[in-house]
Amino acid sequence: MRAPLPDALLRDARLWRGNGQAPLRAEPTGHAALDALLPGGGWPCAALSEIVYPAPGVGELQLAMPLLVRLARAERALAMVAPPHLPYAPGLVQQGLATQRLLVVDTHDETDALWAAEELLRARAGAVLLWQDAIAPTAQRRLQLAAEHGGGFALVYRRAARRDAASVAALRLGIERVAGSARVEVLKCRGARPDRACAIAA
Q: What is the pLDDT of residues 67-92, one digit of tens each?
A: 999 999 999 999 999 999 999 999 99
Distances (CA, A) of 125 to 23, 64, 80, 90, 188: 24, 15, 11, 23, 25
pLDDT grade for 126, boundaries at 50, 70 and 90: very high
Residue whose C-alpha is closest to residue 127's, from 45, 28, 52:
45
pLDDT grade for 94, boundaries at 50, 70 and 90: very high
Alpha-carbon span 185 to 17, nearest angstrom? 25
Identify the weakest region by mean pLDDT among 72-81, 98-107, 143-152, 185-194: 185-194
Q: Cβ distance 98 to 52 under 8 Å?
A: no
**Residues making up the chain, counted from first to last:** 202
Q: Cβ distance 109 to 81 under 8 Å?
A: no
Q: For 141-158, what is each residue's pLDDT tens digit?
A: 999 999 999 999 999 999
DSSP strand E in the chain: where?
Answer: 16-17, 20-21, 26-27, 43-44, 47-53, 78-81, 102-105, 127-131, 153-159, 171-178, 181-189, 196-200
pLDDT grade for 39, boundaries at 50, 70 and 90: confident
Q: What domains can be seen in the chain, in order of their start residue?
A: 25-200 (3.40.50.300)
pLDDT of residue 24: 78
Instruction: Work out the mean pLDDT of the chain and round it to a whole number.
Output: 88
pLDDT of residue 17: 47
pLDDT of residue 197: 83
Residue whose C-alpha is closest to residue 71's, from 29, 112, 40, 33:
29
Residue 12: count other Cβ atoms within 10 Å of its Cβ.
11
Helices marked H in the chain = 7-10, 32-35, 60-73, 89-94, 110-122, 137-150
DSSP 8-state class, residue 23: P
pTM of the model: 0.86
| Single-letter amino acid code for the residue at 98 | A
pLDDT of residue 108: 87
Alpha-carbon span 150 to 123, nearest angstrom? 6
- The residues pairing with 79 across neighbouring beta strands, listed in sequence order, are 103, 128
| 12, pLDDT greater than 60 | no
